[in-house]
Chain A
Amino acid sequence: MSSLVIQDLHVSIGDKEIVKGLSLTIRSGEVHAIMGPNGTGKSTLAKVAAGHPDYTVTKGDILLDGASILEKEADERARAGLFLAFQYPSEIPGVSIANFLRAAVQARLPEGEEIDATAYYKRLYAKMDMLKIDRKFTSRAVNEGFSGGEKKRCEILQMAMLEPKFALMDETDSGLDIDALRIVAEGVNALRGPNLGVLLITHYQRLLNYIVPDFVHVMYDGRIVKSGDKSLALELEAKGYDWVKKELALANA
Chain B
Amino acid sequence: MKKTSDLDSPAAVELDEPVPTANPVAGIDQTRGDFKYDVAYEFDAGTGLNERTVDYISSVKKEAAWIRDFRHHALKVFRAKPMPTHWATRDLENIDFDKIRYYLAQGQKPKRTWEEVPDDIKKTFERLGIPEQERKYLAGVEAQFDSEAAYSNVKDIVAKQGVIFMNSTEALREHPDIFRKWFGKVIPTSDNKFSALNSAVFSGGSFIYVPKGVKVAQPLQAYFRINAENFGQFERTLIIADEGAEVTYMEGCTAPKFSTSTLHSAVVELVALKGAKIQYITVQNWANNVFNLVTKRGLAHEEAEIKWIDCNIGSRLTMKYPGVVLKGRKARGEVISIALANDGQHQDTGAKMIHAADETSSNVVSKSISVGQGRATYRGQIHIPRRLKGCKNNTECDALLINTNSRTDTYPAITVRGDRNYVQHEASVSKVNEEMIFYMQQRGLTEGQAMSLAVNGFINDLARQFPMEYSVELKRLIDLEMEGSVG
**Chain A interface (Cβ < 8 Å from any Cβ of B):** 50-53, 73-75, 78-79, 83-84, 86, 89-104, 107-108, 114-115, 117-118, 121-122, 124-125, 135-136, 138-139, 141, 158, 162
Binary contact track B419-455/A, C-beta < 8 Å → 1, others 0: 0000000000000011110111111111101100110
Cα(A75)–Cα(B447), bound, Å: 8
Contacts A90-B435, A90-B439, A94-B459 hold; do A107 and B445 have CB atoms under 8 A apart? yes
Chain B residue nearest to A97 in the complex (CB) = B11
A75 to B9, CA, bound (A): 30
18 contacts across the A-B interface (CB closer than 8 A): A53-B434, A73-B446, A75-B441, A75-B445, A78-B441, A78-B442, A93-B458, A94-B457, A94-B461, A95-B454, A95-B460, A97-B11, A98-B14, A103-B453, A104-B445, A118-B4, A121-B12, A138-B11
In the complex, are the beta carbons of B9 and A118 less than 8 A apart? no
Min C-beta distance of B214 to chain A, whole Å: 36
Closest to A134 in B: B9
A90, A97, A100 — which one has the most chain B CB atoms within 10 A of its CB?
A90
- The yes or no answer to B16 lying at the interface (CB within 8 A) is yes
Contact B438 A74 (CB under 8 A): yes
A139 touches B436 (CB 8 A): no
Cβ < 8 Å to A, chain B residues 1-35:
2, 4, 6-7, 9-12, 14, 16-18
Q: Which residue of A lies closest to B448 (CB)?
A: A75
Known: A75-B446, A89-B439, A90-B438. 18 other contacts (CB 8 A): A51-B442, A74-B438, A74-B442, A75-B447, A78-B441, A90-B433, A90-B435, A91-B436, A92-B453, A92-B454, A95-B457, A98-B11, A103-B453, A107-B443, A107-B449, A135-B9, A139-B10, A139-B14
Contact partner of B17 (CB less than 8 A), chosen from A83, A91, A117, is A117
Please give, as numbers and ranges, the residues of chain A lying within 8 Å of B447 by CB-CB distance.
73, 75
Nearest A residue to B6 via CB reads: A122
Chain A residue with the shortest CB-CB distance to B454:
A92
Q: How far is the CB of A88 from chain B (nearest CB, A)?
A: 8
A102 touching B457 in the complex, CB below 8 Å, given contacts A86-B439, A117-B2, A139-B10:
no
Question: Could you say which of A52, A99, A118, A158 has the most chain B C-beta atoms within 10 Å of its C-beta?
Answer: A99
- A residues within 8 A CB of B279? none
Question: Number of B residues whose C-beta is below 8 Å from A?
Answer: 36
Query: A117 contacts which chain B residues (CB < 8 A)?
Result: 2, 17-18
Contact with A along B304-324 (1 / 0, CB 8 A): 000000000000000000000
Cβ contacts under 8 Å, B16 to chain A = 99, 102
In the bound complex, CA of A206 to CA of B167 (Å): 74
9 shortest interchain CB distances as A-B pairs:
A94-B457, A94-B460, A95-B457, A98-B11, A90-B439, A139-B10, A74-B441, A90-B436, A78-B444
Q: In residues 386-442 of chain B, which contact A (Cβ within 8 Å)?
A: 433-436, 438-442
Decide if B456 is an interface residue (CB 8 Å cutoff).
Answer: yes
Q: Are A139 and B9 in contact (CB under 8 A)?
A: yes
> What separation, in Å, do the CA atoms of A136 and B7 have in the docked complex?
12
Asked whether B10 lies within 8 Å of A136 as measured between CB atoms, the reply is yes
Among B441, B442, B446, find the residue whose CB has the most chain A CB atoms closer than 10 A: B442
Complex Cα distance, B436 from A21, in Å, reads 29
What's the nearest-Cβ distance from chain B to residue A185, in Å? 22
A102 CB, min distance to chain B CBs, angstroms: 7
Give A44 Cβ to nearest chain B Cβ, in Å. 14
A97-B10 Cα distance, complex, nearest whole Å? 12
Contact B439 A136, beta carbon cutoff 8 Å: no
Inter-chain CA distance A91–B459, complex, in Å, is 15
B454 lies within 8 A of A75 (CB): no
- Which residues of chain B are near A94, meaning CB under 8 Å? 456-461
Interface pair A107/B461, CB less than 8 Å apart: no
